A = this chain, B = another copy of it.
Amino acid sequence: MGKGRLEAFSDGVLAIIITIMVLEMKVPHGASLSDLLPILPVFLSYVLSFVYVGIYWNNHHHMLHTSTNVTGAMLWANLHLLFWLSLFPFATGWMGQNHFAAVPTALYGVVLLMAAIAYYLLERAIIRAQEPDSILKKAIGRDLKGKLSPVVYVVAIVATLVSPYISEALYVGAALLWLIPDRRIESVLVRTEV
């Protein structure tokens, strides 16, 4: 199987996920500014999830760029990733409509965590298909961001017991980690480690 159709299918699913999330933002009945107010948390959740799906689409693209052949393991690892990403609209809607309550915020973190694990498994499947001379393995290096993100999500899930706002801050922070161009943040992280 060529990777063209794998990319096309993934693009299709990601494009639909990113777009149907907005359907959770129900059109309010009233026509005044105050009618928009209860939607604000849903909107903010939507922005956060939009950025996350954007990051996944971007990284997914770069990762597959290094690959030439598609194995069965890659195919199912990819579907597994798409499965967890497909739960974004549900988790986003539940968190937003309940104004960042503790349990929905924790569930959002669980979906983020599972997606991060699924992404890691896809990475492994691609590297295994490229061994012994994997370009992807060299490209990701020590993969500090990839290892840090799941830890942040776990901390955020636990933090919902204290205050879900700490968790939200952690979700935003982990997203920024990926948004800021790679090399700079990595060198920062390396220095922090020392």
Chain A residues near B (Cβ < 8 Å):
1, 5, 7-9, 11-20, 22-25, 27-33, 36, 47, 50, 54, 57-58, 61-62, 65, 72, 75-76, 79, 82-83, 86-87, 89-90, 93-94, 97-98, 101-104, 107, 179, 181
Contact = CB atoms under 8 A, between A and B. Distances in A.
B54 A79 contact: yes
B72 A181 contact: yes
B19 A13 contact: yes
Contact of A7 (B5, B36, B86): B5
A57 B5 CA distance: 10
A16 B27 contact: no
Nearest to A105: B31
Contact of A31 (B9, B13, B20, B101): B101
A188 B16 CA distance: 39
B54 A22 contact: no
Nearest to A1: B61
Contacts of A1: 61-62, 65
The 5 A-B residue pairs with the shortest CB-CB distance in the complex, in nearest-first order: A12-B15, A31-B101, A31-B98, A16-B19, A27-B93
